[in-house]
């Protein structure tokens, strides 16, 4: 008998339903194979690239099995889900998201004994985490687990709106998978198209076309997560990616910076708020921490001292200014595209 796990809303609506697939009679251990397996699965199905960064299972501390079967063929369908677990904010920390991944894994483990249910999980920050590996069978789309892959948005999108960062990440992942064995341009739909459930919620369901638009759009347009142009100018796009990486509010704005440093740093462009009585910004304070500045020096304000520390950290020329097409900013942009600051 197939185990089914339903999550219901207060009005009885089935917000999400997870189910394991029945295995072929007497062949429980046989891996599923598509009619025409076109190529050998790569050992590491997805690596961080210039366009898409998916944090590994190890990064969030996966503790349970990675699905139950190895799938050797590409997906024939991709389904979008929502998890109906905690609704984190767009400025949630990586640690908070990792905790949610482990919570989600516990649900799948408790119900099916096969670890986390979904292939990839995207949080409001726009960060994505690998759930059940692309080449392993999960328990996301009952009856279709063996032939499809799943993209899950963490939270409840019947009640909440997905963030722009989430949609961008999902589109980039879908687009990136187009030419790769694990999705191969398979059509994308919402879970509710094939099951009695509201999943992935009406607010996310309304955005599926935006995710589908990721198909063939590699890399995503400048400013989308992971798709930064390495041009050495630090504007809103670079700030937005930095904010995502450092876990501060994502708005592309560096607030309250001292105007005396504006003209001497022409590489700092859009999204910088220059004022006479600077209070500093959270993203710069987080950066100061990241690059090893002493706690007493983390004032959230850009200036020669912070820029020199950044240049030392990045291994570029140390002169304390961000020039036009700055080599330090290019190094920073490369690291952001690689998913590491
Ligand atoms: Zn679902």
For residue 182, report the distance from its CA to the centre of ligand 1, in Å.
19
For residue 178, report the distance from its CA to the centre of ligand 1, in Å.
22
Rounded Cα distance, 337 and 341, in Å: 9
Mean local confidence (pLDDT), 324-333: 88
For residue 77, report the distance from its CA to the centre of ligand 1, in Å.
14
For residue 135, report the distance from its CA to the centre of ligand 1, in Å.
19
For residue 201, report the distance from its CA to the centre of ligand 1, in Å.
9
For residues 119 and 149, is the Cβ–Cβ distance under 8 A? yes
For residue 116, report the distance from its CA to the centre of ligand 1, in Å.
13
Query: Cβ-count burial of 246 within 10 angstroms (0-12 exposed, 13-18 middle, 19+ buried)?
Result: buried
Q: Which strand (E) or helix (H) includes residue 240?
A: helix 236-246
Secondary structure of residue 256 in the 3-state scheme: strand
For residues 135 and 11, is the Cβ–Cβ distance under 8 A? no
For residue 212, report the distance from its CA to the centre of ligand 1, in Å.
17
The overall average pLDDT reported for the chain is 84
Return the number of other C-beta atoms located less than 10 Å from residue 279's C-beta: 12
In this predicted structure, the answer to whether residue 9 has a pLDDT above a threshold of 70 is yes
Return the number of other C-beta atoms located less than 10 Å from residue 216's C-beta: 11
Q: Model confidence over 189-218: pLDDT tens digits?
A: 999 999 999 999 999 999 999 998 874 433
Mean local confidence (pLDDT), 227-255: 82
Secondary structure of residue 203 in the 3-state scheme: helix
Return the number of other C-beta atoms located less than 10 Å from residue 292's C-beta: 9
For residue 224, report the distance from its CA to the centre of ligand 1, in Å.
26
For residue 149, report the distance from its CA to the centre of ligand 1, in Å.
12
The domains of the chain are located at 4-212, 236-337
For residue 24, report the distance from its CA to the centre of ligand 1, in Å.
23
For residue 46, report the distance from its CA to the centre of ligand 1, in Å.
22
For residue 85, report the distance from its CA to the centre of ligand 1, in Å.
12
For residue 318, report the distance from its CA to the centre of ligand 1, in Å.
51
What are the residues whose beta carbon lies below 5 Å from ligand 1 (ion)? 16, 81, 191, 199
The dihedral built from the CA positions of residue 33, 133, 336 and 86, taken in this order, carries a sign that is: positive
pTM, to two decimals: 0.59
For residue 200, report the distance from its CA to the centre of ligand 1, in Å.
6
14-19 and 4-8: which strand pairing?
antiparallel
What distances in angstroms separate CA 9 from CA 12, 13, 174, 276, one per listed residue? 5, 5, 29, 50
Question: What are the DSSP calls for 296-336, one per residue?
Answer: GG--S--SHHHHHHHHHHHTS---S---TT-HHHHHHHHHH
Please choose, from the candidates 283, 285, 284, 341, the residue with its C-alpha nearest in 3D space to the C-alpha of residue 314. 341
For residue 4, report the distance from its CA to the centre of ligand 1, in Å.
12
Most confident of 34-48, 121-135, 236-250: 121-135
For residue 270, report the distance from its CA to the centre of ligand 1, in Å.
39
Q: Which strand (E) or helix (H) includes residue 150?
A: strand 148-153
Return the number of other C-beta atoms located less than 10 Å from residue 171's C-beta: 24
For residue 82, report the distance from its CA to the centre of ligand 1, in Å.
6
Q: Model confidence over 27-77: pLDDT tens digits?
A: 343 444 443 434 444 434 444 344 568 899 999 999 999 999 988 777 889
In the chain, % of residues over pLDDT 90: 55
User: According to CATH, what is the number of the domain 4-212?
Assistant: 3.40.80.10
For residue 144, report the distance from its CA to the centre of ligand 1, in Å.
12
Rounded Cα distance, 249 and 161, in Å: 17
For residue 311, report the distance from its CA to the centre of ligand 1, in Å.
45
């Amino acid at each position: 008998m197939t185990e089914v796990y339903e999550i219901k809303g207060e009005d009885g609506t089935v917000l999400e339903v997870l189910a394991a697939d029945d295995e072929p009679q007497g062949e429980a251990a046989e891996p599923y194979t598509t009619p025409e397996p076109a190529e050998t699965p790569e050992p590491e199905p997805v690596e961080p690239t210039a366009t898409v960064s998916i944090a590994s299972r190890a990064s969030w501390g996966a503790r349970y099995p990675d699905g139950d079967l190895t799938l050797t063929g590409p997906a024939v369908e991709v389904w979008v889900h929502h998890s109906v677990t905690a609704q984190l904010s767009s400025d949630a920390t990586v640690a908070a998201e990792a905790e949610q991944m482990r919570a989600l894994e516990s649900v799948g483990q408790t119900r099916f004994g096969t670890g986390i249910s979904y292939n990839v999980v995207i949080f409001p920050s726009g960060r994505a985490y690998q759930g059940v590996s692309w080449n392993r069978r999960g328990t996301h789309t009952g009856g279709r687990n063996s032939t499809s892959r799943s993209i899950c948005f963490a939270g409840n999108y019947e009640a909440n709106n997905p963030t722009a960062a989430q949609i961008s990440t999902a589109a980039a992942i879908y687009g990136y998978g187009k030419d790769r064995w694990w999705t191969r341009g398979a059509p994308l739909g919402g879970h509710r198209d094939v099951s009695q459930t509201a999943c992935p919620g009406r607010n996310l369901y309304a955005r599926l076309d935006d995710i589908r638009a990721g198909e063939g759009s590699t890399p995503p347009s400048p400013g989308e997560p992971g798709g930064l142009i390495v041009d050495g100018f630090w504007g809103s796009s670079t700030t937005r990616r930095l904010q995502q990486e450092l876990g501060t509010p994502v708005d592309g704005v560096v607030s309250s910076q001292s105007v005396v440093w504006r003209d001497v740093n022409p590489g700092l462009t859009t999204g910088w708020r220059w004022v006479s009585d600077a209070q500093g910004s959270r993203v710069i304070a987080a950066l100061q921490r990241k690059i090893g500045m002493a706690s007493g020096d983390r004032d959230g304000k850009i200036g020669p001292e912070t820029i020199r520390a950044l240049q030392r950290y990045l291994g570029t020329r140390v002169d304390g200014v961000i020039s036009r097409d700055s080599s330090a900013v290019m190094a920073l942009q490369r690291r952001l595209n690689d998913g590491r600051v």
